[in-house]
Structure 1
Amino acid sequence: MEDIDRKMCVPKLVDSHCHLDDAAFDLDRPDVIRRARAAGVQKIIVPAYSPLFWPRLQQLCAQNIWLYPAYGVHPLYLHACASDWFEALPVWLENAVAVGEIGLDRSDNAPDHGAQIACLKSQLQLAQALDLPVILHARGTLEELILILRGFPRLRGVVHSFSGSLVQAQRLMDSGFYLGLGAAFTHARALRLQATIRSLPLDRVLIETDAPWQSGASFRGQRNEPAFLLETVRALAHLREMAFSALAEQLTRNTLAFFRLQENA
């Protein structure tokens, strides 16, 4: 009876951002997928970050029907692109659920910022033309990104690993964007982010792992993986003082609607 009850309590979750094609999973990817499924993760969105790895991402998703690819160029991988990457991108996007991971990054040794902006805008224009959502990266650039997005009023998207203020969150939501929450808020020092998350409307939130990176407090020092999404949702339910099952249902509903996926597909 305990085994039956445990299975009945497993939620239906969607990891809205996980780099399952990354080499960090090469030695045990089938086991990682099995653990994710056992934890209730029914679907995983796998965003690309470099054209060098688009083929491996396509192959992985073709082999696993619960994995859904997005294609794009991450700002930190801009220098690794061949000259014809943008001309090739529309073909890759024919079977994708989003354009991403794209965005801006001001970390040390990041590529030329002007080149990043040009790369981002070209992909935003393509996403708008194809009516695909975008998965956005913003490291030290959230204000700048918000201003750029004003030039694309018909665009849908999510700012992944959101860590901004409530004011910034509201400006993004007013423009029709969603906020992707990873496990960063589970760490004890993330008091400002926790305060922001307590006030967010849950119908504009997606949940993610960003695996193999950004492990939560329960898995500090470990490689992140999609099965850990379960603990992040539990932590969010605790933070929001609400029932876990109701929160899980809301987050899954948000993600399926955002990526235009069918629950049983």
Structure 2
Amino acid sequence: MLIDSHCHLDRLAEDANPESLRPVVERARAAGVKEMLCVSVSQKGYEPMRRAAEPFEEVVFSCGVHPLDIKEGFDQGWLRQHAQDARVVAVGETGLDYYYSKDNIADQQRAFAEHIEVARELDKPVIVHTRDARTDTLEILRDGQGVEGVLHCFTENWAMAKGALDLGLYISISGIVTFRNAEMLRDVVRQLPMDRLLVETDSPYLAPVPYRGKQNQPAYVREVAQYVADLKHCSYDELCRQTAENYRRLFRR
């Protein structure tokens, strides 16, 4: 059972039109993808995201505001209201990004902590984005007192991965692992325990080899899974089985 644990289907749709997404979903089905987690990044984009992907039964959702989008608005009450939806399986994408934005670090940290608070209230995991903020990310997660979640599209070092694993979190690997200059990430993947591993596309971004430079889509999670299986010296079927089990455990599927 192959699952894309993180994608942005609304970015592949035209004007939030579900029919424009149908070929994307059908290609994913043909590739063996059984479920896709469509991830929210902003308040204003949440409803269009839902409209675009709502008709497809293999799609579930998250609700949250990306650290680079909180400047456009973030209200914890809005998050609490929408994250209660039964089809919303996670809170986020939230976290910290000091690589692209250092002028609102305090706001990022506050929003991250408020996402975690809602996740704990609703007993749902958080989807975490982190870049150039290793220490603060782990500290805020530690303050979350056992909140469950995943560091998505992981690109950090083994020390960061180990810190997250020690907090009970999962690590999700995207097509970046196939890039020529991603040897540090490949070394991390080799060390990751199989029972904490997820795979994703983060589509429409970061298409894996051999599609690099093209628009990414959930069907290409197959290439990510095969590459990770080779790094882990296991079969493709075993990698799919284990990552699907991990996904179901984390997101209560």
Match of 2:9 in 1: 20
* CA deviation vs aligned residue, 1:121-141 (integer Å, no higher than 9, x gap): 111111111111000000111
Q: 2:70 aligns with which of 72, 78, 92?
A: 78
Match of 1:63 in 2: 55
Deviation, structure 1 residue 60: 3.2
Deviation, structure 1 residue 108: 3.4
Distance 1:61 1:170, change over 3 A: same
For the residue of structure 2 that corresponds to 1:217, the secondary structure is coil
Deviation, structure 1 residue 151: 0.7
* CA deviation vs aligned residue, 1:89-116 (integer Å, no higher than 9, x gap): 2221122101010011112345511111
* CA deviation vs aligned residue, 1:25-83 (integer Å, no higher than 9, x gap): 3284211110001101111001100000111122234311111110001011111116x
Quick one: which amino acid aligns to residue 144 of structure 2?
Answer: F
For the residue of structure 2 that corresponds to 1:219, the secondary structure is coil
Are the equivalent residues in 2 in contact too, given 1:75–1:111 (CA < 8 A)?
no
Over the residues paired in the alignment, what is the CA RMSD in angstroms?
1.5
Distance 1:156 1:109, change over 3 A: closer
Are the equivalent residues in 2 in contact too, given 1:102–1:136 (CA < 8 A)?
yes
Match of 1:234 in 2: 226
**Structure 1: how far apart are the matches of 2:132 and 2:90?**
23
Q: Which runs of 5+ in 2 are unaligned?
A: none
Are the equivalent residues in 1 in contact too, given 2:175–2:207 (CA < 8 A)?
yes
* CA deviation vs aligned residue, 1:217-246 (integer Å, no higher than 9, x gap): 211110000000001111111122211111
Deviation, structure 1 residue 167: 2.3
Deviation, structure 1 residue 20: 0.4
Quick one: which amino acid aligns to residue 179 of structure 2?
Answer: H
For the residue of structure 2 that corresponds to 1:26, the secondary structure is coil
**Structure 2: how far apart are the matches of 1:194 and 1:211?**
20
Match of 2:96 in 1: 104
Q: 2:108 aligns with which of 102, 116, 121?
A: 116
Q: Does 1:51 align with 2:54?
A: no
Identity of aligned residues (%): 31
**Structure 2: how far apart are the matches of 1:147 and 1:249?**
32
1:116-195 map, 5 Å: 116-195=108-187
Are the equivalent residues in 2 in contact too, given 1:206–1:251 (CA < 8 A)?
yes
**Structure 2: how far apart are the matches of 1:188 and 1:45?**
27
Quick one: which amino acid aligns to residue 193 of structure 1?
Answer: L
Q: Does 1:246 align with 2:249?
A: no
Name the larger-Rg structure: 1
**Structure 1: how far apart are the matches of 2:56 and 2:81?**
20
**Structure 1: how far apart are the matches of 2:95 and 2:246?**
22
Task: Report the TM-score, using the length of structure 1 for normalisation.
Answer: 0.89
Are the equivalent residues in 1 in contact too, given 2:172–2:200 (CA < 8 A)?
yes
Are the equivalent residues in 2 in contact too, given 1:76–1:111 (CA < 8 A)?
no
**Structure 1: how far apart are the matches of 2:102 and 2:217?**
26
- Count of paired positions: 247
Q: Does 1:93 align with 2:86?
A: no
